[in-house]
Amino acid sequence: MKKSLIITIFIIIAICSKAQEGYNDYIEAAKKGNPEAQHKLGMCLALGIGVERNYSESLAWYRKSAEQGYAPAINSIGYCYKNGLGVTKDYTQAAQWFRKAAEKGYADGQKNLGYCYYYGYGTTEDKKEAVKWWTKAAEQNEAEAQNELAFCYKDGIGVEKNPQKAFDLWVKSANQGDADAQNSLGHCYSNAFGVQEDPVKAFEWWKKAAENGNINGIVSVAYCHAKGYGVEQNMATAALWWFNAAEKGHAPSQYYLGVCYKEGIGFKKDSNLAKEWIQKSADQGFPDAIRELENLK
């Protein structure tokens, strides 16, 4: 047996053992009425950590914790109703539970209530109310709320347009690792939105977003390498990033990848793979791919 495989097995055993120990610790404290332990026990049951996954039992422990006013548990019950975990999906109930958590000052609850108002989930759609609750969550440094609020300031949704405010919020969110905010920050530097244009910084933020799995960041990094924007031009590297995006189903990238295989850019020429990727792009209706298929025929 290879050494790396042995190490991996030992790591898995250690993680499982740790999870089991954590579950055992939580269940003892939960039975004694500790609300935090009750909530964590519910999370273990929901995620299958140290125990077999059981959404109904998870919800039961959330309720015990929520009855003692523990905000994270109240918020988790909202998630259960929103996603139908251990209970019938019910957006109205979800919104009500998110409101209870939000009114206790819990940032995640405030963020979720913001989504309810923004999209009209379980309550009347109200962009200004969404901005109000996202603002409260953002003030507590909740990264996702900061990102959503930034879009509101960018487009003037529920609040007056303010490019500088949007940029500042994206900086805060991006620095916490939010991939969507990192991608948006790249566009800010590329389009001089709320900040002076800086191709190098645009590339740097797009690359952070890409490394966090953000599809738009991946596509932008490919573009930067292809055009030499903020980084030295390198078509072979661009091809690798297009491959990454193409595998995630991005139609334009599938087309560009097909062209790379056709021309031998970054990969060995392969007419079969070229046709395969261009076909995938065409199947999604990308015009350039549809025209290229006709040429290949």
Does residue 97 belong to any structural domain of this protein? no
> pLDDT of 81-116, one tens digit each?
999 999 999 999 999 999 999 999 999 999 999 999
- Tally of structural domains, the chain: 2
pLDDT above 50 for 73: yes
Select from 42, 68, 94 the last residue of a domain: 68
Q: CA angle, corner 219, sides to 214 and 221, nearest 5?
A: 95
Question: Is 35 inside a domain boundary?
Answer: yes
**Cα–Cα distance for residue pair 5/35, rounded to 1 Å:** 40
Q: What is the pLDDT of residue 21?
A: 61
Q: Please check whether residue 67 is in contact with residue 40, taking contact to mean a CB–CB distance below 8 angstroms.
A: no
Show the domain range for 36.
10-68
pTM score, two decimals? 0.86
Hey, what amino acid is at 297? Answer: K
Question: Poorest-confidence range of 130-134, 164-168, 293-297?
Answer: 293-297
Q: Tell me: the pLDDT tens digits for 113-123?
A: 999 999 999 99
Query: 162 lies in a domain?
Result: no
For tokens 């645009």, the residue is 202
d(Cα 222, Cα 276) in Å, to the nearest integer? Answer: 20
Res 6 pLDDT > 60: no
pLDDT at residue 80 greater than cutoff 50: yes
pLDDT of residue 13: 31
- Which of these, 45, 94, 40, 44, lies nearest to 65 by C-alpha position? 40
**Residue 261 belongs to a domain:** yes
Mean local confidence (pLDDT), 143-149: 98
Does residue 160 belong to any structural domain of this protein? no
Q: Is residue 100 domain-resident?
A: no
Domain boundary at 68, 83, 107, which?
68
- The average confidence (pLDDT) of the chain is 92
Q: Is residue 104 part of a domain?
A: no
**Domain for residue 28, yes or no?**
yes
Mean per-residue pLDDT, 157-185: 97
